[in-house]
Structure 1
């Protein structure tokens, strides 16, 4: 099992100097990775509601995920750096490819690209990107990233974007490109993971739900002639840490540190499985964040 934490970037942690110092401290704890999230705005009353309850107020204060990863890259030497989850459709894929390539170069090949579709219509409206057709837009975005990273002469003609035959340099340190992990919790999203991604940005969840979704990805990988065993899984948890034990049915998201970690250990059935513990909604200060991170490290390691 690999152990990762969130890059501090929301609410009271939305300060680049604080982010830098905390990333260095998290690396010193011995974790494997650090992951930045993506939030563009926080509507006072989200039209679709918020998955799992009420949107945290601190999501209205945030650092840009790619720039936050640049800060993390400069502050660390060893840990992998990823996005969980980057809403990749808010910018043209060629622009995105340039930014991700630069991050891979800055980090000397430590970047993992985690991409999702998001869930909030207001963010799409604010960026002028259509809500409908997101799946097709993501497919073509992946096509462009692949073309930019793999080809000496980049050319692309698709329904949304056209790139004339061009030189696009430099290339990423990682060849043929940084690993791409995709988010999502629908059968169609898992089919896409199996068909063309390097892994799945998942979440801590009850095991029967996990088994059903993962079966879709493995079947899709086999149909595409790919080895399902090489697919990575990163299980995010935004824990509600309690002082007393919670009900066993809730430990995928709520309970003592030991309860939450015990559930994560059961979920991680392969050596390449990874947990991502996001403590930004659970703590209010760097000291509290790092103390709790150390407690999770002790239980998980």
Structure 2
């Protein structure tokens, strides 16, 4: 199991100098990866689809740009992988997105994981001037353009939304054939896309029956496409509510003691390449407490997982 943490970028952590120091400290603690998130605005009136109509956390209204924050993290570290979970892929034209991601891969010397999603908030699409309808098709063509820009040789693309006449687009990313692409989402369509054309899934800590049902969709899609499902990476995000005493067992996917939450994550991670992403930005306002919790999660998740019988299937 690999262990990652959020890049500090929201609320009291939306300070690039503080974020750089904390990223360096988390790398020194021994984590495997650091990840940015993407938020454009936080409506005062709760948007549809957010936590049963509850207000959004106030700190989501204060945020660093995810790609620039990832550049800060890249400059402050030298070993950890750097990713986005998730970057809203449709808020900028794909050639512009490809240029920024290529630059990040070069800055980080080939440590970039490209995590893309569609987002869920219509108000952000309206502010960005991007149509809400047809998001899935826009993402499919965005992926086509990224592939075209990153493959060797000249770039040409002709699609329903974008056209690139044959052009030279250099430099290419450091990683070959391209940076890994991981896709987020929790619908059947999203998991089908993961299985069909992504390198992995940006998932979340969730109740196991829900998780198994979603992952089965990706596995079936990969098999239909002639791909090996076991080669797909999985990164499980958790925004934990850490408590001093144990929470109810049914809440352990997101709430409880550090050990409770880690026990659930260990059950979800069925392959050595699986990864957890612990986002501590809603848990504390203190950089010192943030780093202390990161050390606790590393210690707990670093313990060996309970052994499974030989030949047990991957969940």
Gaps of 5+ in 1: none
Aligned position for 2:265: 264
Give the deviation of 1:197 after TM superposition: 0.2
SS in 1 for 2:265: helix
Give the deviation of 1:55 after TM superposition: 1.2
Cα distance in 1 for partners of 2:41, 2:51 equals 15
Aligned position for 1:29: 29
Q: Does 1:223 align with 2:233?
A: no
Cα distance in 2 for partners of 1:56, 1:175 equals 39
TM-score, normalised on structure 2?
0.95
> Structure 2 matches for 1:205-216, cutoff 5 A?
205-216=206-217
Aligned position for 2:96: 95
SS in 1 for 2:209: helix
TM-score, normalised on structure 1?
0.99
Cα distance in 2 for partners of 1:54, 1:239 equals 18
Aligned position for 1:122: 123
Aligned position for 2:307: none
Aligned position for 2:254: 253
Cα distance in 2 for partners of 1:300, 1:8 equals 21
Aligned position for 1:40: 40
**Cα-Cα RMSD:** 0.8
Q: Does 1:274 align with 2:268?
A: no
> Structure 2 matches for 1:1-301, cutoff 5 A?
1-51=1-51, 53-301=54-302
Cα distance in 1 for partners of 2:198, 2:135 equals 17
Give the deviation of 1:49 after TM superposition: 4.3
Cα distance in 1 for partners of 2:55, 2:251 equals 18
SS in 2 for 1:208: helix
When the two structures are aligned, how many residues end up with a matched partner? Answer: 301
SS in 1 for 2:210: helix
SS in 2 for 1:71: helix
